[in-house]
Amino acid sequence: MSQGELSVSVEELRELVRDFARREIAPHVRKWDETSFFPQEVFAKLGEMGLLGIMVPEKYGGAGLTYRHAIAAIEELAAVEPGIALSVAAHNSLCTGHILAYGSEAQKEKWLPRLATGKTMGAWALTEPESGSDAASLRTRARKVEGGWLLSGSKAFTTHASVAEVAVVMARSKDVPGPAGVSAFIVPLGSPGVVRGKKEDKLGMRTSDTASLILEDCFVGEEALIGAEGEGYSQAMAVLEGGRVGIAALGVGIARGALEAAVAYAKTRKQFNLPLTAFEAIRFKLADMATQLDAARLLTQKAAELKDQGLPCGRWASEAKLFASEVAVKAAEEAIQIHGGYGYTRDYPVEKLWRDAKLCTIGEGTSEIQRLIISKELIAGGGA
């Protein structure tokens, strides 16, 4: 399927991605997880399909589709291999999304065609060793010099830091504390002064590359600045809002994968000469998993619809991300419980889904941060 053929309905796209995931990814999941392997060939194919530029306009080489298409694709990938789904979500919403939303026309023309087709993988560097949830306290510096900027500092937990060719990097360009001093820069990762640091040995999402980045007087030209100086933090917060919709879809996919695995196992596993599905305790677990999954999907779809309409969705995105990520953890845990002792082994997929799910409650804003955002909007708005 070529990129131009991706002008399809949401459900048609869902079927295309589901077939691809089962054919190209499912047979390799266990091996890739064990070795923390980033499957470059799979991402090349995803790029050819248009899935690495789902929301990028066609004039920049993208598929020109919607958030609703994006969340369907992410869910289908996540139900099979959450790490790959995470990388697709991050590539679309963070680096690519930041340039699409705030880049100049020259920046868009230079980078988006390469990012949207997967010829270039993108990273997005906000988090630092000493600043996670408190992103406004970042310490990476951007010093103005003749012809551009010198960037120095360290970034942590950066998706694609080992494999990307370009990153959007947030750095403090003004000597003032807090958000006002932060600017965003496009940094080619082959530039002098860029050091790719330690690749993280993670609990889950092991097929998604995560590493640190070190910048040692890395020079970028004046054209690398995205938007105006001092706008980087506000840009980053808006980018994260869209990213949370993707993480919500990731949680939905994990929860669905766990439910499907639990139902299949419960139908075939027998105790006391009866399948597990004959026992009320198991049936109630499955019913709760299905209900929570459907609620998470509806929240995620609502947030995606608001994004597609260009309407404010900060609270909806946070609610979707919060609920879906915690549903994913719970669904995977219940799937393990239904599998019993076998669920605790690597011979069945549910222990991996449990490990993968936990990241959803941490990345792109922890569950605690989502609750702060939701409550802040509630209080400011005077109610529901």
The rounded percent of the chain whose pLDDT value lies above 70 is: 97
Contact (CB, 8 A) for 314 and 269: no
Answer yes or no: 364 catalytic.
yes
Q: CA-CA distance, 205 to 203, in Å (whole number)?
A: 7
Name the pTM for this structure. Answer: 0.95
Mean pLDDT of 199-204: 97
Tens-place pLDDT, residues 50-95:
999 999 999 999 999 999 999 999 999 999 999 999 999 999 999 9
Q: Looking at the domain that runs over 123-230, which CATH code has it been given?
A: 2.40.110.10
Q: How confident is the model at residue 204 (pLDDT cuts 50, 70, 90)?
A: very high
Crossing angle between the packed helical segments 350-358 and 82-90, to the nearest 10 degrees: 30
| pLDDT score recorded for residue 100 | 98
The catalytic residue among 76, 81, 319, 364 is 364
Answer whether residue 165 shows pLDDT above 60: yes
Give 383's pLDDT tier (boundaries 50, 70, 90): low
CATH topology classification for 233-380: Butyryl-CoA Dehydrogenase, subunit A; domain 3 (1.20.140)
351: nearest Cα among 361, 341, 366: 341
pLDDT for residue 384: 62
Tens-digit pLDDT profile for residues 111-121: 999 999 999 99
pLDDT at residue 4 tops 50: no
Domain extent listing, the chain: 10-121, 123-230, 233-380
Chosen CATH of 10-121 out of 1.20.1090.10, 1.10.540.10, 2.40.280.10, 1.10.260.40: 1.10.540.10
Q: What pLDDT digit, counting tens, does each position of 285-298 carry?
A: 999 999 999 999 99
- Rounded CA gap, 20 and 163, in Å? 23
pLDDT, average across residues 99-114 = 98
Two structure tokens written together for 53: 């530029």
Task: Over range 259-271, report the average pLDDT.
Answer: 98
The bridge status of strand 148-159 relative to strand 166-172 is: unpaired
Q: Is the dihedral of CA 87, 91, 95, 98 positive or negative?
A: negative
Provide the 8-state DSSP code for 216.
Answer: E
262 token code pair = 């639990």
- One fold for 10-121 and 123-230: no
Q: How far is CA 153 from the centre of its chain?
A: 24
DSSP string, 294-345: HHHHHHHHHHHHHHHTT---HHHHHHHHHHHHHHHHHHHHHHHHHHGGGGGS
What integer pLDDT is reported at residue 328 of this predicted model? Answer: 98
Give the model's pLDDT for residue 3. Answer: 43
Q: Does residue 371 register a pLDDT over 70?
A: yes
Q: Which DSSP symbol is given to 131?
A: B
| DSSP H/E element including 184 | strand 182-188
Average pLDDT, the chain: 96
Rounded to whole angstroms, the Cα distance separating 149 from 39 reads 34
